[in-house]
Amino acid sequence: MPGAEAFNSPGRPEGGGVGVLVSHGFTGSPQSLRPWAQHLADQGYAVRLPRLPGHGTTWQSLNRTQWQDWIAVLERELLRLLDECDTVFVAGLSLGGALVTRLAEEHGPSIAGLMLVNPAYRSDDPRMRALPVLRRLAPSIAGIASDIRLAGVTELAYDRTPLHALSSMLQLWALTVRDLPEITQPVLLMQSDEDHVVPASSSELLLSRISSTDVTHVRLADSYHVATLDHDAHVIHDRSVEFVERVRRG
């Protein structure tokens, strides 16, 4: 899909050897996070925003992948950043938030901090309970893209939600939630007051289970789920840079 390409920035000396791994969400693409990634790159940070397998092509392609495929791509980029940079942060939107949280659980202090926008660790959709049966009856259901308050802005994402891939995402959620107490790094959580995709209880779950003592919770009053393309994008940009600079300087 044109516009779904990955974003990579080599970083510059004024970035102080800071790397940031950024992950987009389920059925989405790097397009939804490109302005955020570009802003981080403008600070001189080395930024990696890969396109997850099965995304940015067709929803049928996504239905042939699973969460291990998605996180393998992110881990490859993370290891490159850890090799190139003095300090590395992870960032993500929605499912991307869950994926980078899983990486932080597994890599511990190698990751300096997490920056999360409306991260997804659970769903209140009653259809999730019927998913084991539903995915045998139909390959997909209606999509969840472009939950954006700002008029005229569209997320580059699928108009269908593939059910085999969705089932795999739920497996990732279970593992990630189980190991949330392993998170001790500083966390910047940026949460929309009105989100039609991920329930508020998802962020509440994160906050209730992590072991981090340095937690900043920013409310986004004028954005829906894809806040990185919404009215509060500038808040995400500014607070992220503030967080990175504060954490890396100790």
- Catalytically annotated residues: 94, 195, 225
> How many of the other CB atoms lie within 10 Å of CB of 146?
17
Question: Six-digit token pair at 139?
Answer: 């390959």
* Residue count (the chain): 250
Residue pair 231/222 in contact by the 8 Å Cβ criterion: yes
Give Cβ neighbours of residue 26 (< 8 Å, ≥ 6 apart). Answer: 94, 95, 120, 144, 161, 165, 166, 169
Report H helices in 59-183: 59-62, 67-84, 95-107, 131-137, 163-178
Q: Is the dihedral of CA 188, 202, 122, 161 positive or negative?
A: negative
Q: Determine the Cα–Cα distance for residues 121 and 102; give it in Å rounded to an integer.
A: 11
Q: Rounded to the nearest 5 degrees, what angle is found at the Cα of 46, between the Cα atoms of 43 and 52?
A: 120
